[in-house]
Chains A and B, each alone.
Chain A
Amino acid sequence: QVQLQESGPGLVKPSQTLSLTCTVSGGSISRGNFYWSWVRQPAGKGLEWIGRMYSNGNTRYNPSLKSRVTISRDTAKNEFYLEVSSVTAADTAVYYCGSEPPGLWGQGTLVTVSS
């Protein structure tokens, strides 16, 4: 079974770029009909879909975040990445990576935007 683990800095300064890594084990991010996704959840709020990358490398982003978000990958490392530029306090959240189908998710990593 695929397992996913998020990692990255827990603290990012305003206006900087948030960068996270999702390490995947038990399956290849470049094979099959799978999407590799990022979602986030601010404290006390609901889930927000950020975007995803198909196994062929094609990406799709939330229109509200599209101008600031990039999802990329390193197939040799079996990792995919999230970058969010020009962050503000509103980007403070727990970030989760996952695979769809069938909806397997990591445990999440808290990123705080603060000076």
Chain B
Amino acid sequence: QAVVTQEPSLTVSPGGTVTLTCGSTTGAVTSGHYPYWFQQKPGQAPRTLIYDTSIKHSWTPARFSGSLLGGKAALTLSGAQPEDEADYYCLLYQSDGREFGGGTKLTVL
């Protein structure tokens, strides 16, 4: 089964920009993998920020954006806020179904 890869942890300064990536051991991630991005804060259910690569929900802050970058799915946070500190998971469509990445712990410091 293919493995979905994410950075285990990243740190961003308040007001700074950071890009989280989501790769697949099978090769380049494309729109056909229908990438999703989830945000999860401690004690809370995960919520979808981005689906189908770049589509935002009504609750997704404008500072988050999704794209494809260098063969991976990417979640870019521009102008980080303290409340953005959370775990972020990507979800890809794979040949066997769907697969989550291991998650990225984002620290805003």
Q: Could you tell me which A residues sit within 8 Å of B by CB distance?
A: 37, 39, 41, 46-49, 51-52, 60-64, 94, 96, 100-108
Contact = CB atoms under 8 A, between A and B. Distances in A.
A47 B100 contact: yes
B51 A62 contact: no
22 contacts: A46-B100, A46-B102, A46-B103, A47-B38, A47-B46, A48-B100, A49-B91, A49-B100, A52-B97, A60-B98, A62-B96, A62-B97, A63-B1, A63-B96, A100-B51, A101-B34, A101-B55, A102-B52, A102-B57, A105-B45, A105-B47, A105-B48
Contact of B1 (A39, A51, A64, A100): A64
Contacts of B40: 47
**Considering the complex of A and B, which 6 residue pairs feature the smallest CB-CB distances, nearest first?**
A103-B48, A49-B98, A47-B100, A103-B51, A60-B97, A46-B103
| Residue among B34, B55, B89, B97 with most chain A CB within 10 A | B97
B97 A49 contact: yes
A46 B40 CA distance: 10
B42 to A, nearest CB: 11
Contacts of B100: 39, 46-49
Given A49-B97, A49-B99, A107 B45 contact: yes
Interface of B: 1, 34, 36, 38, 40, 45-48, 51-52, 55, 57, 89, 91, 96-103
B76 to A, nearest CB: 18
A103 B89 contact: no
B48 A61 contact: no
B45 A63 contact: no
A94 B52 CA distance: 25
Given A49-B97, A60-B98, A103-B57, 5 more contacts: A47-B38, A47-B100, A49-B100, A105-B48, A106-B45
A108 B96 CA distance: 24
Given A96-B45, A107-B45, A101 B51 contact: yes
